[in-house]
Chain A
Amino acid sequence: MNFPLQHPVPPVDQVGVEARAAFFTKRSLKNDAKRAGLRLAVSMMDLTTLEGADTKGKVSQLCRKARQPMPARYGCPPCGAVCVYPNLVAQAVKELEGSGIPVASVATGFPSGQYPLELRLADTRHAVGEGAAEIDMVISRGAFLEGDFVRVFDEIAAVKEACGEAHLKVIFETGELQTYDHVRFVSQLAIEAGADFIKTSTGKVAPAATLAVTLVMVETVRDYFLATGRYIGVKPAGGIRTAKEALQYLVMVKETAGDDWLTPDLFRFGASSLLLDVEMQIARMEEGRYQSAEYFAKG
């Protein structure tokens, strides 16, 4: 497919979409619904470390955490993926061998994307070569804001080709695009250019994921599915720190796109500190009381 887009992009009303997002925060999840939701959230988590200070040791710790986030008695599933920089993909692949947990790598000159396309494609091929099963690319926000949508489209298509068998997640950095109209448009653009997943943010820019931005993206994949029968995933990343927020996202997904999207195949959280709070909530549900954060392993 090529630009211009094959499917319509309806306008988004800011006040309305924010009111709708706020509505989902009023839902009350109790007992079994909360238990199921918390475990689902863990299974959807792309456990992430994206620091200059990342080492093999840090990544190994993270991978072990992803394999078994909590003691077995809690019945907590493993995380959805581990997300690292390209240099640490090999280490993560080694640690996660046999676990079925995919390694996701950021690529294409993450987080700014301000590099020549050739280097960004080479970055992608390298990460895939190291064993990354999922590539989290960044779009050229500069090109998008200049109105050069053809370039943004073609770059995504080129990265998709460089991914080969690896799944492609396309990061928009919605905090830099700012308007919901931009988010709706770039979501459709990325989908038609070949994205398997669309993702809000790098986690390096504030605001990162919000419920309203993610709602606009979920509405886009829902409408695309209804028009074509093809499933695209959504990944809010950055800024989701509490179990309560994670459950609000799941409520939004459930009531917007329905049951099909309530799976790690089609919905992920990009997060580093969220897991701890979800663990504490799972433990509280099982033990009937809150425990000190000191009883939970941080790495």
Chain B
Amino acid sequence: MKQPKKTTPELTFTAALDYAPSPETFPVTLKKRYELFIDGKFVAPKTGKYFASVNPATGKRHTLIAEAGKADLDAAVKSARRAFEKTWGPMAPSERGKYLFRIARLLQEKARELAVLETMDGGKPIRESRDFDLPMVAAHFFHHAGWADKLDYAFPGRKPAPIGVAAQVIPWNFPLLMAAWKIAPALACGNTVVLKPAETTSVTALHLAEIFQEADLPPGVVNIITGAGETGAALVAHPGIDKVAFTGSTEVGKRIAAAVAGTKKRLTLELGGKAANLVFADAPLDEAVEGVINGIYFNQGHVCCAGSRLLVQEAIHEEFVARLGRRLRTLRVGDPLDKNTDVGAINSKEQLGRITTLIGSGIEEGAELHESSCALPGEGYWCRPCFFTGVTPAHRIAREEIFGPVLSVMTFRTPSEAVQKANDTCYGLSAGIWTDKGSRIFKIASQLKAGVIWANTYNQFDPASPFGGYKESGFGREGGRQGLAAYVKLG
């Protein structure tokens, strides 16, 4: 075989067998504008106002979304209350389960269309919306459909009863999936819902509302109001609700906690994170590299449980960083609708601004930036996947949640130092451990202050598995038996 001399052997990833564009071609039409979904019907906002929704891959407006005002909010809460008292609350649990099963099946039937919409509206790669978001959305409805008439078994010896009207405010990173995480358990436990999607990603929630209509879900069981942060704040503060569930930033979470303090409202919060991936010298290296890559670049890093801090044992630091750098070069960044895209568009101009600022702070504070050399599209919001070495625990990029494709690499010498550094954060949502030694996994996991800990893998989700945080990552769990507890009163 050919054995050319190269001084420093390096791999080349360039033109050979270059993939041709492979755009998803499923035909989808966005509506000219999207209305509010109140009492089972799509209605124009009483404010008469609409705001623009932008496709982040082009930076252009692609539809209009209704802006809900106080009157709309009142109507939605009133409708949810009526449904709770007259239809959904008194309904036999097995009947509620049937509706949820029907919704789950409809979601599966329309999965392709919804995946394309999700990608157009939010910028995530079609491969992820098709293979991750939509299957998980349906799975959450199926899982909770099964619970609807078995709640007594989830809480042995207790009498679970629904709470009432739940106000649910969700983020823009997994728009439809977060709607499913919120709505499915609420409905399974007999509650009714007023949901507010994030202002940059309202489209798929309103298509989900069409599925509710198609499933004949009684009017008022789920209401969807759209708008910006003020709409969410007004919903949370509304006197007609019994329960608040929020997923989003820690900053907003704190404001919500203050707003509901001293009221009868129950609260669960799923907030930010700054998760550590701990890679020990005996780790399966290639799989650890994949796990770290997946941990930080999945969904452009717009993931609350993203593994945004890499703690690698000093003995393999240099080698691991070299492997990471090579893998970074093979990430395909670009058109989210192309089936071969790994990293799509940043969700909004504002978010791109936040990420850019924090990357700037990393450079200023003296860390070394390693960037993918990929070309970026000319329009829309884009950020090259990157990582920093030479990061110290005091750097902003080691402490603040970036919520973008930016990884901070640090080192440790011993297991106790690894644990200490991993826990050195105000957050505690998730963590990853990479080692070939099983006993070490258990020992380290028991010392980490994080709600979800993955061993030799990352970003694995299942509706049966509870998800939630320690410390400023929030409280309450979503998914599994534990997740149901947030939506029942126990007698």
Interface residues of A (CB under 8 A from B): 10-13, 15-17, 19-20, 26-34, 36-37, 40, 167, 196-197, 219, 222, 225-233, 250-251, 254-255, 257-260, 262, 265-266
| Contact mask for chain B residues 1-40; partner A; CB cutoff 8 A; 1 contact, 0 none | 1110110011111111111111000000000000000000
Q: Is the pair B22, A222 in contact by a Cβ cutoff of 8 Å? A: no
Indicate if B285 sits at the interface (CB-CB under 8 A): yes
Min CB distance B429 to A, Å, is 22
| Distance of A29 Cα from B21 Cα, bound (Å) | 8
Min CB distance B320 to A, Å, is 11
Q: Identify the 5 closest CB pairs spanning chains A and B, nearest first.
A: A16-B287, A259-B16, A258-B11, A13-B284, A28-B22
**Residues in chain A near residue B291, CB distance under 8 A:** 16
| Distance of A283 Cα from B473 Cα, bound (Å) | 57
| Contact mask for chain B residues 265-296; partner A; CB cutoff 8 A; 1 contact, 0 none | 00000000000000000111111101100000
**Residues in chain B near residue A255, CB distance under 8 A:** 13, 330
| Distance of A88 Cα from B193 Cα, bound (Å) | 76
Q: Is the pair B16, A254 in contact by a Cβ cutoff of 8 Å? A: yes
**Residues in chain B near residue A251, CB distance under 8 A:** 17
**Residues in chain A near residue B131, CB distance under 8 A:** 26
Q: Is the pair B287, A17 in contact by a Cβ cutoff of 8 Å? A: yes
**Residues in chain A near residue B22, CB distance under 8 A:** 28-30
Q: Is the pair B17, A10 in contact by a Cβ cutoff of 8 Å? A: no
| Distance of A92 Cα from B14 Cα, bound (Å) | 37
Min CB distance B385 to A, Å, is 15
For residue B290, which residue of chain A has the nearest CB? A20
Partner of B457 from A15, A228, A232 at Cβ < 8 Å: A15
The interface residues of chain B, by DSSP majority, are classed as: loop
Interface residues of B (CB under 8 A from A): 1-3, 5-6, 9-22, 127, 131, 282-288, 290-291, 330, 339-340, 436, 456-457
Assuming A196-B1, A233-B1, is B17 touching A12 (CB within 8 A)? Answer: no
**Residues in chain B near residue A257, CB distance under 8 A:** 11
**Residues in chain A near residue B11, CB distance under 8 A:** 222, 225-226, 257-260
Min CB distance A109 to B, Å, is 25
Min CB distance A138 to B, Å, is 20
Q: Is the pair A28, B339 in contact by a Cβ cutoff of 8 Å? A: yes
**Residues in chain B near residue A13, CB distance under 8 A:** 284, 287, 436, 456
| Distance of A24 Cα from B21 Cα, bound (Å) | 16
For residue B436, which residue of chain A has the nearest CB? A11
Partner of B9 from A196, A219, A228 at Cβ < 8 Å: A228
**Residues in chain B near residue A260, CB distance under 8 A:** 11-12
Q: Is the pair A226, B9 in contact by a Cβ cutoff of 8 Å? A: yes
| Distance of A15 Cα from B287 Cα, bound (Å) | 9
Q: Is the pair B12, A259 in contact by a Cβ cutoff of 8 Å? A: yes
Q: Is the pair A219, B286 in contact by a Cβ cutoff of 8 Å? A: yes
Partner of B284 from A10, A30, A31, A228 at Cβ < 8 Å: A10
Add 5 more A-B contacts to A11-B283, A32-B20, A260-B11 (CB < 8 A).
A11-B282, A28-B22, A40-B17, A250-B17, A251-B17
For residue A180, which residue of chain B has the nearest CB? B284
Q: Is the pair B10, A265 in contact by a Cβ cutoff of 8 Å? A: no
For residue A216, which residue of chain B has the nearest CB? B286
Min CB distance A248 to B, Å, is 12
- B9, B285, B288, B330 — most chain A CB neighbours (10 Å): B9
Assuming A16-B456, A226-B9, is B17 touching A27 (CB within 8 A)? Answer: no
**Residues in chain B near residue A167, CB distance under 8 A:** 1
For residue B338, which residue of chain A has the nearest CB? A28
For residue B5, which residue of chain A has the nearest CB? A229
**Residues in chain B near residue A265, CB distance under 8 A:** 1-2
**Residues in chain A near residue B457, CB distance under 8 A:** 15-16, 19
Min CB distance A21 to B, Å, is 11
Q: Is the pair B284, A33 in contact by a Cβ cutoff of 8 Å? A: no
Q: Is the pair B285, A231 in contact by a Cβ cutoff of 8 Å? A: no
**Residues in chain B near residue A228, CB distance under 8 A:** 9
| Distance of A238 Cα from B83 Cα, bound (Å) | 62
Q: Is the pair A28, B340 in contact by a Cβ cutoff of 8 Å? A: yes
Assuming A15-B457, A265-B1, is B13 touching A30 (CB within 8 A)? Answer: no
Partner of A258 from B12, B286, B288, B339 at Cβ < 8 Å: B12
Min CB distance A134 to B, Å, is 11
Partner of A26 from B13, B127, B282, B290 at Cβ < 8 Å: B127
**Residues in chain A near residue B287, CB distance under 8 A:** 12-13, 15-17, 20
**Residues in chain B near residue A229, CB distance under 8 A:** 3, 5-6, 9
